Amino acid sequence: MTPPQRLLLVDDEPDLQQLLVFNLGAAGFTVEAVATGAAGLEAALRERPAVVILDLMLPDLPGTEVCRRLRAEPRLDDVGILMLTARGDEYDRVLGFEVGADDYVVKPYSVRELVLRVRALARRSSERFAARRASDAGTRLVWRGLSVDPVRHRVFVGDAELSLRPLEYKLLAIFLEHPGIVFSRADLLTEVWGVPPDTNTRTVDTHIRRLRERLGPYGEAIETVQGFGYRLRDS
């Protein structure tokens, strides 16, 4: 039997800690909860979690700084980071992605949605962890000078490798695997996040915007189809 995946919850609200530990435990995870950024960093380094659930507002360090330090550790590169924030501003979401967060949930939130997002992120991070240790099968998905290795989950711009987070990689791969197909926001929530299509779709737009920025001159590969969603632009 596969052991339960381990989660690390970094949040200083005792009631919220108790609620999430109970619900995530019921979903099949093992959860360690700590109340400070320093304790979160120590716990993550002591025993690598599948996902870190990280509050933006902590008593000692900003969640963004904790996220930045986690990403600076090479052995935690494939760990998923879900940021909890009471702020829904575009600036805060983009800042979270800039320092390495994979996803975010804005308070107050549905616990069911949070559990679904954590499950999807844990799955993506595990897939990425395994894929990076696979051998190169030589298969590539290509759009102009942009190429994706779907076996090892690696992305190249020309000869240079581009580092993408697990959800960013999955978004890009979906489009390259299905050229010309229009994906609605609801489709992408189901295919990439693994959450029901009735979930708030604003996170899709934020991730698409961030992915385009990461792709630089190849950001135009993802085309907006007004009123419908997104697709891979014809090369």
Domain boundaries, the chain: 6-131, 141-232
DSSP, residue by residue, 43-62: HHHHS--SEEEEES--SSS-
Over the chain (235 residues), the average pLDDT of each successive run of 10 is: 81 94 96 97 95 94 93 87 78 72 83 90 78 70 92 87 86 94 91 71 81 92 94 91
Helices marked H in the chain? 14-26, 37-46, 63-71, 90-98, 111-131, 166-177, 185-188, 202-215
With beta carbons less than 8 A apart as the criterion, state whether 67 and 96 touch.
yes
The pLDDT of residue 165: 81
Fold of the 141-232 domain = Arc Repressor Mutant, subunit A (1.10.10)
CATH-assigned architecture of domain 6-131: 3-Layer(aba) Sandwich (3.40)
pLDDT of residue 145: 92
Q: How far apart are CA 99 and CA 115, in angstroms?
A: 23
Confidence (pLDDT) at 198: 64
Q: What is the pTM of this model?
A: 0.74
Q: For the chain, what is the total number of helices (H) and then of strands (E)?
A: 8, 11
